[in-house]
Structure 1
Amino acid sequence: MSSSALSILQQVFGYEAFRGHQADIVQAVIAGGDALVLMPTGGGKSLCYQIPAIARQGDGKGVTIVVSPLIALMHDQVGALHEAGVAAAFLNSSLSYEEAQDIERKLMRGELTLLYAAPERVTTPRFLSQLDRLQENGRLSLFAIDEAHCVSQWGHDFRPEYRELAVLHERYPKVPRIALTATADALTREDIVERLQLQEARQFVSSFDRPNIRYRIAEKKDPSAQLLRFIESEHEGDAGIVYCQSRKRVEETAQMLCSHGLDALPYHAGLDAEMRQRHQDRFLRDDGVVMVATIAFGMGIDKPDVRFVAHLDMPKNIEGYYQETGRAGRDGQPSQAWMLYGLQDVVNQRRMIDESPAGEEFKQVMRGKLDALLTLAESTDCRRVRLLAYFGEPSQPCGNCDNCLSPPNVWDGTEAARKLLSTVYRVQQMSGISFGAGHVMDILRGKKTDKVAQFRHEQVSTFGLGAEYSEQQLRGVMRQLIAIGALSVDAEAFNTLRLTEGSRAVLRGEQPVTLRESVAQSSGGRRKRERSGAPPAVAAGLTDAGQARFTALKAWRSEVAKSHNLPAYVIFHDATLAAIAALAPGSVEDLQGISGIGARKLEAYGEEVIRVLGTV
């Protein structure tokens, strides 16, 4: 590791040592090599290109262009770099024409170390011509492509404009590139390499494990009540994200949480841009806000103290689930990933795949990804082992997921599955039409409803043969059958059930169906705490005097952040404030060496920090 890289880490960013693969990545990129970096959220990906950008500019190699998909992410990253004393800027639609012109002039004069821009801007003829001139003058140092999974059709957040970024290698083959993502299975990784022409790049794959996150998955019963109970009993006063599949569900859930006294905001693509920005700013800048959102929200959210991520609907695949849950606990403190799932989730996701205009190969891959997520949800062994295995990483039971803490019982649903499929077949034979899940279950359980009487389905030979199964058990069986393609749902015919080619193996008893028993949901977490005044986990070990110093520092940080129009954590992380509060320094010199305080921040805020401590 070059001394310059380590000194940049210490002097500019205020960290004593590199973590994990960071040192090797930084060294490889400074030396001019290409790199593909897979590192979990909170692992320090940004430093992997920011430090080489500073080091290479110091060697006279010019500006680093950072391809970033989100305006909010650009704004906060550039703000954080300014706080650290690094010359950075962004070009996006939030700037006026005059502001954009000023940034472009600084770029051409060599006054910037990093410039952030969206992929659709980077690939325009105008921007490429500017890069041409920089290249001619020897001032084009590095390309950093953030959220690189967006280039892959197999990924969970495919963006076609990312495909055009191959032009960077074709046009500037001698300029090194670093592509970074927090989430990519083997198929997505291969696609990134091919689409961005990174065949010669070194690949750095960090552990996908986030040991501070507790994974919990439960069946849907009354989702609104379940969510409210989860937040009120375990996370009242905490920042969190609640993901819903539809805009309507987002609005209803946010309103429900607000009606129970929680500070909740909706976020989805149907809201106007100004409201979305306002809500995102509040979430980033205020304490204890719960954002209820579709997946339109979240990429690039750097807020470190998100204590929980909840899913009221099942995501499309494990990559999406991992990426979204990874927004919890970026500060390394205990956090939770909590998900509900049900039969309708599987039906909806399967239908979206089957009815999409994509080719059959793509649909088959997506079905496999959905099946993997359902397997995770239905699993009875360690969630973390299953999750990491999906990304090709072996592990041991974690002792910190719901299955490890409260092992569920399992039952053999093979016979129930055969009876269900037989009932679907026989009622269609008898009536000439198909029926929905509820009616099929009523027949199998021997319930004499008006609809059963209307169609005389008490005469079906399987009537009452499944009386020993609860409705919940049969819904679990149906989820499995739909997921493995042994049962299909006809959306155009009122969500009626139909047999498929895959039904045969189950009917013959050739394919077993094993399920987890439904268990009563336990809190599985900490006791309810007071909404206000409770310290974050990072400061929980402080003495009473230390807590007072921490509270005073947080109040001061909040004012500084507002005056700079930045989230508070960009000024100092909670962990840095807690370290200051524990040390109780008496002079600016005493602040040196505290993690997160670089030279620029020491100069800018050192005296103010000492002044604040003197008032406690």
Structure 2
Amino acid sequence: MHDLLDRPAQRLPIDVLRDVFGYDSFRGQQAEVIDHVIAGNDALVLMPTGGGKSLCYQVPALCRPGTAIVVSPLIALMKDQVDALSQLGVKAAFINSTLAPDAAREIEARAIDGDIDLLYVAPERFASDRFLNLLDRISISLFAIDEAHCVSQWGHDFRPEYRRLDLLPTRFAHVPRIALTATADTPTRKDIAENLHLTDAQCFLTGFDRPNITYRIETKGNAKQRLLSFLNREHVEDAGIVYCLSRRKTEDIAQWLTDNGRPALPYHAGLTQDVRQRHQDRFLREDGMIICATVAFGMGIDKPNVRFVAHLNLPKSMEAYYQETGRAGRDGLPANAWMNYDLSDIVSIRSMVAGSEAPEAQKRIESRKLDALVGLAETTKCRRQVILSYFGEDRHEPCGNCDTCLEPVETWDATEASRKALSAVYRTGQRFGPAHVIEVLIGRKTEKIRQNGHDNISVYAIGKDIAQPQWRSVFRQLLAMGYLQVDVEGHGGVYLTEESRPVLRGEKVVEMRKDPGESKRATTRRLRDFDTEFENEEDRDLWERLRTMRRELATGQNVPPYVIFSDRTLWEMVRFKPRTLEDMMSINGVGVKKLDQYGLAFLDVMDGRR
């Protein structure tokens, strides 16, 4: 069987897909993109996370002569990809700061000799003169620029070093280039094309929808307990990611989950490199592990069976939310994106943006991106429609797989409450935060109110008919609607915008969503999981034995279990019950190398011999 893996001068893409990767057919526009690049053309590819972007350059790399150079932003991504490709019999390697000098020189020599199919490198190293000189000595099949949104100032992960990639069309004029990203709105796409000189390249826009992900957004109120309830209700043994805004909170939540019977580890930039690597490795290798992380974690993590991504704070942009939630369900099986946020998140993020050292133009971009995400959080419409619309994609029908579809949002006429809130902001001087203004509205007798004389103004206690939690909802939605703005240069106070005038004058009706708890707490739909799909206990037992075999093989090779076979591949084994190596070859994810390496072991499990 190893003969099938010998690389001839020219291989058909479909043969590579079947023999190496173990799939019968391409998805979406994959085949069109691959043929385009194999023919020597440039491409800009926008494809959702889990949509198969990697195959769009990996297959051409195995069809064109030479070595493919893959520019990738994170070391974790490189190692993950190289481990997975090596399991498939592909000659892949990376050069980054984790390698000893001797190991790096050995890989460079192999690349010069043409003994590497795909070579991964970080943009910082790519831009060095030494690496560029090395490239002059390599026969290059193509350049792949992953996470291409990093080149754009409009992107949410702007990396200045990506700008050096603009030298490719002049220094390597005859080498095709493919830039790929999952998160780019229209301005970002335009910026990518201009900065990478891909304005004449064909753009393949395959859509942003992730139909297997259920989106759900809640407002706070004992967020920890709600998180635990969500996990115990829908993800009893599942691996997942919990994103937090601060380093301290990641550690607090990880410890709290562990104390409550859910294995969890923190991950943030303040931990040592060794600790971060150890925690990431455990997350990749252990079933049911939860990682509690800042945004320092996740880009390029290829773990396909992440069944949920939870946010305990509002992310900074729609792109960040889409990319982070996209780490759930990469295998196409059902997954959850759950978020719990509060008014204070908006204030905190706006303050962070204002206090950054970014140019003013960049701050305005980030502020607009946050506005779009707050709009998603507060919408009464289908959340998937809002997400897709942001990325320039129209969906005419509600998705039926988000909380606002599963539990339609109740609304109420908040015109009078909004006028009271806006008046209170104005009468207190437009320099206090929502918490203080709410205490004025409900007639609290605090020292701060007394010192500022706010117990003697006309708006004092005019809102005591509305409970404090509902007032927080009113202020949160007034910020989302643009009637209030946060004074980020002060101390988080709020002030009126020009748009608030028609509301104050009684010329505009304001309708707001009712938060769960004001009416009824939204019910949740349990994810369709493997338990509900198994036809009998024998299938359930077979599933567990297949997972045990996978885990043993992975431990012996020091790789994550999903690198051996994905959950989807094991699930197909349970469903179709292959009895021969030929049968096994029909299972998705079983290519020639993996059949040769693992086929008999898994057939023994199928036959009950293991």
- Aligned mates of 1:383, 1:9 — CA distance in 2: 35
Q: Does 2:418 correspond to 1:417?
A: yes
- 2:568 aligns with 575
- 1:353 aligns with 353
Cα 1:594–1:408 shift into 2, 3 Å = same
Cα 1:512–1:365 shift into 2, 3 Å = farther
Q: 94, 104, 117: which is aligned to 2:98?
A: 94
Deviation at 1:492, TM superposition (A): 6.9
- 1:609 aligns with 602
- 1:6 aligns with 14
- Aligned mates of 1:357, 1:123 — CA distance in 2: 24
Q: Does 2:37 correspond to 1:29?
A: yes
2:402 is aligned with what amino acid?
C
- Aligned mates of 1:181, 1:538 — CA distance in 2: 34
- Aligned mates of 1:246, 1:507 — CA distance in 2: 37
Deviation at 1:280, TM superposition (A): 0.6
1:279 is aligned with what amino acid?
H
Deviation at 1:363, TM superposition (A): 3.0
Does the CA-based 8 Å contact 2:24-2:588 persist in structure 1? yes
Does the CA-based 8 Å contact 1:242-1:290 persist in structure 2? yes
Determine helix, strand or coil for the equivalent of 2:291: strand
Q: 122, 127, 132: which is aligned to 1:123?
A: 127
Deviation at 1:490, TM superposition (A): 4.6
2:33 is aligned with what amino acid?
I
1:515 is aligned with what amino acid?
M
- Aligned mates of 2:352, 2:581 — CA distance in 1: 59
Written as runs of structure 1 = structure 2, the 5 A alignment for 1:50-89 is: 50-57=58-65, 62-89=66-93
1:613 is aligned with what amino acid?
M
Task: Out of 574-583 and 337-346, give the one that drifted further.
Answer: 574-583
Written as runs of structure 1 = structure 2, the 5 A alignment for 1:188-199 is: 188-199=188-199
Task: Out of 12-21 and 552-561, give the one that drifted further.
Answer: 552-561
Determine helix, strand or coil for the equivalent of 1:133: coil
Deviation at 1:483, TM superposition (A): 4.4
Task: Out of 224-233 and 458-467, give the one that drifted further.
Answer: 458-467
Q: 435, 440, 459: which is aligned to 2:437?
A: 440
- 1:472 aligns with 469
Does the CA-based 8 Å contact 1:10-1:598 persist in structure 2? yes
Cα 1:171–1:543 shift into 2, 3 Å = same
Does the CA-based 8 Å contact 1:35-1:201 persist in structure 2? yes
1:605 is aligned with what amino acid?
Y
Does the CA-based 8 Å contact 1:310-1:339 persist in structure 2? yes
2:197 is aligned with what amino acid?
Q
Deviation at 1:541, TM superposition (A): 2.5
Deviations 1:233-275, CA, capped at 9 Å, x for gaps: 2212111110000001111111111110110000000000011
Determine helix, strand or coil for the equivalent of 2:309: strand
Q: 71, 82, 106: which is aligned to 2:110?
A: 106
TM-score (normalizing by structure 2): 0.93
Determine helix, strand or coil for the equivalent of 1:447: coil
Written as runs of structure 1 = structure 2, the 5 A alignment for 1:302-321 is: 302-321=302-321
- Aligned mates of 1:589, 1:501 — CA distance in 2: 70
Task: Out of 391-400 and 29-38, give the one that drifted further.
Answer: 391-400
- 1:564 aligns with 557
Does the CA-based 8 Å contact 1:553-1:577 persist in structure 2? yes
Task: Out of 447-456 and 367-376, give the one that drifted further.
Answer: 447-456
- Aligned mates of 1:386, 1:24 — CA distance in 2: 29
Determine helix, strand or coil for the equivalent of 1:612: helix
Written as runs of structure 1 = structure 2, the 5 A alignment for 1:125-274 is: 125-134=129-138, 139-274=139-274
- Aligned mates of 2:411, 2:471 — CA distance in 1: 14
- Aligned mates of 2:552, 2:569 — CA distance in 1: 17
1:404 is aligned with what amino acid?
C
Task: Out of 563-572 and 317-326, give the one that drifted further.
Answer: 563-572
Does the CA-based 8 Å contact 1:230-1:523 persist in structure 2? no
Aligned length: 596
Deviation at 1:603, TM superposition (A): 1.4
Deviations 1:338-374, CA, capped at 9 Å, x for gaps: 1112110111122233343444433333222211111
- 1:301 aligns with 301
Determine helix, strand or coil for the equivalent of 2:381: coil
Cα 1:548–1:111 shift into 2, 3 Å = same
- Aligned mates of 1:276, 1:358 — CA distance in 2: 27
2:425 is aligned with what amino acid?
V
Give RMSD over aligned pairs.
2.2
Q: Work out the percentage of aligned pairs sharing the same amino acid.
A: 53
Does the CA-based 8 Å contact 2:11-2:63 persist in structure 1? no
- 2:332 aligns with 332
Does the CA-based 8 Å contact 1:241-1:291 persist in structure 2? yes
Task: Out of 266-275 and 325-334, give the one that drifted further.
Answer: 325-334
Does the CA-based 8 Å contact 1:350-1:482 persist in structure 2? no
Deviations 1:385-437, CA, capped at 9 Å, x for gaps: 11111111111101111111111111233432332232232233xxxx94332
- 1:514 aligns with 511
- Aligned mates of 2:339, 2:364 — CA distance in 1: 25
Determine helix, strand or coil for the equivalent of 1:441: helix
TM-score (normalizing by structure 1): 0.92
- 2:51 aligns with 43
Task: Out of 403-412 and 473-482, give the one that drifted further.
Answer: 473-482
Deviations 1:177-213, CA, capped at 9 Å, x for gaps: 0011111111111111111111111111112111111
Cα 1:187–1:538 shift into 2, 3 Å = farther
Deviations 1:548-597, CA, capped at 9 Å, x for gaps: 33322221111211222211111111222222233333332332222111
Does the CA-based 8 Å contact 2:351-2:489 persist in structure 1? no
Cα 1:511–1:345 shift into 2, 3 Å = farther
Determine helix, strand or coil for the equivalent of 1:12: helix
- 1:547 aligns with 540
Determine helix, strand or coil for the equivalent of 2:215: strand
Deviation at 1:488, TM superposition (A): 4.2
- 2:582 aligns with 589
Deviation at 1:450, TM superposition (A): 4.7
Deviations 1:451-500, CA, capped at 9 Å, x for gaps: 44454433211223223333223222322444455434456765334445
- Aligned mates of 1:390, 1:83 — CA distance in 2: 38
Structure 2: unaligned runs, 5 residues or longer = 1-9
2:586 is aligned with what amino acid?
G
Deviation at 1:54, TM superposition (A): 0.3
